Amino acid sequence: MSKEIQQIIEKLNAFAPGEKAVLATVVDLVGSGYRRPGARMLIDAEGYAVGTVSGGCLEADVLERAKKVLETGEPFVITYDTTKDENSLFGLGMGCRGVVRILLERFEKENILARALEFPFRERRRQFIGTVISSNRAATGGRIFYNEIERFRFENLTDEPEIFDGLKKNCLEFFASGEFSKVFRYESGNDSFEMFFENVNPPLKLLLFGAGYDALPLVRIAKELGWRVTAIDHRPAFANAERLPEADEIIVSDAENLGEDLFADENSVAVVMTHNYERDLRILPRLLRSKCLYVGALGPKKRTEKLLSETGENFSADELAKLYAPVGLDIGADTPEGIALAIAAEILAILKSREGGFLRNRKGSIYGTSE
């Protein structure tokens, strides 16, 4: 889950009863664009916006069009095409060569979509959302929802849209794949149906072992990225809300006393920076056998190799593959802030299956897979 969605939910929860807004969602992009499908912007009745759907070039036009949606309550999809002339679109001068489609719809505090967007944050489970973006039969903005607790739910769609064979099957397959977003097209006779699929995952959880001075900037950067932070340290003088006001959870404990639930979150990463060899020796094996997607350990490579040998345990290739030590990208960082930046950047690179190199050396799209 992006920080943007979290901010939209926070804004929405502060609405008064009956207060309405407009939600703009990027539902398709062909070619280049600043924001990817799934990017959102919430626009209230006063024209104040949270989030963004472009690099700033489309927002003024979207804000103007949102007024009509707020009045009529009718959702619609806008298409911005700059593939022929980047300066031809309403004088916006987007500077990108792509076709962007944005869904505008009225949005209220109490609706199914709002609850669905909040679900991954509340339950720490994935939520699937399928949205009609074009059809000669169904209403634009009609939806199908799925998660493992509530199963299928529908909004402005028949419970069984049988004319589009395989829709439910596609939803389940897409949900299981973990893919972020995709547009599916269905045809049956004279009927056509285009739906934007997306998976909304829980915000990444950072398990930070060690609450020393160098941990503080990592907490701040993680929160800027929209991650949830759990800070763990055995010293109450270090692990407290006064020193770590931005942390979502603070645990004062030795590693051996931590419950198994802490290590069972499939949307988590861990960074070990206790600066204590014996404590690292106790925590590292638990992290390697945990559900964590990434484990970073501060300190020289030889230190970590010695730690692994002294655990007396045999780790699988998959368990060792998620260990990064020394932690962080090689950017020449030599201050707590720089090291924190290198660590956060490495985590992003690993989760996105990237090498962390220079974008100017990348072949192909900066968002897709390299050629």
pLDDT at 53: 87
Dist CA 111 CA 338 (whole Å) = 42
pLDDT at 21: 92
Angle, CA 371 vertex, CA 26 and CA 354 arms, to 5°: 70
- Tokens 């064979």 belong to which residue? 165
Query: Residues 6 or more apart from 139 whose CB is under 8 A from it?
Result: 75, 132, 156
Relative orientation angle of helices 215-224 and 336-351, to the nearest 10 degrees:
40
The CB-side HSE value for 109 (13 A sphere, CA atoms) comes to 10
pLDDT at 368: 62
Single-letter residue type at 363? K
Strands 228-233 and 249-252: parallel
Rounded to 10 degrees, what is the CA torsion of 80, 225, 241, 119? 60
Dist CA 203 CA 302 (whole Å) = 33
Q: What single DSSP character describes residue 212?
A: S
Dist CA 230 CA 252 (whole Å) = 11
Dist CA 33 CA 365 (whole Å) = 10
pLDDT at 47: 87
Structure tokens at 168: 């439910």
Nearest to 296 by CA among 269, 278, 265: 269
Residue 36: C-alpha distances to residues 52, 154, 179, 294 (Å) = 11, 25, 13, 25
Counting every residue written for the chain, the total comes to: 371
Residues 120, 126 contacting (CB under 8 angstroms): yes
Residue 11: C-alpha distances to residues 109, 164, 358 (Å) = 9, 36, 36
Cα of 35 vs its chain's centroid, Å: 13
Residues 238, 299 contacting (CB under 8 angstroms): no
Helix (H, G, I), strand (E, B) or coil at 122: helix
Spell out, as residue ranges, where the chain has pLDDT lower than 50: 86-92, 159, 163, 369-371
Enumerate the β-bridge partners of residue 24.
Answer: 41, 104
Which helix (DSSP H) or strand (DSSP E) does residue 215 occupy? helix 215-224
Dist CA 118 CA 180 (whole Å) = 17
Helix (H, G, I), strand (E, B) or coil at 109: coil
Dist CA 298 CA 352 (whole Å) = 22
Structure tokens at 347: 């985590």
Dist CA 184 CA 27 (whole Å) = 11
Single-letter residue type at 227? W
pLDDT at 277: 94
Dist CA 31 CA 198 (whole Å) = 19
Residue 331: C-alpha distances to residues 216, 286, 300 (Å) = 20, 29, 16
Neighbours of 240 (CB within 10 A): 16
pLDDT at 347: 97
Burial class, 259, CB count within 10 angstroms (exposed 0-12 / middle 13-18 / buried 19+): exposed
pLDDT at 31: 75
Q: What single DSSP character describes residue 139?
A: P
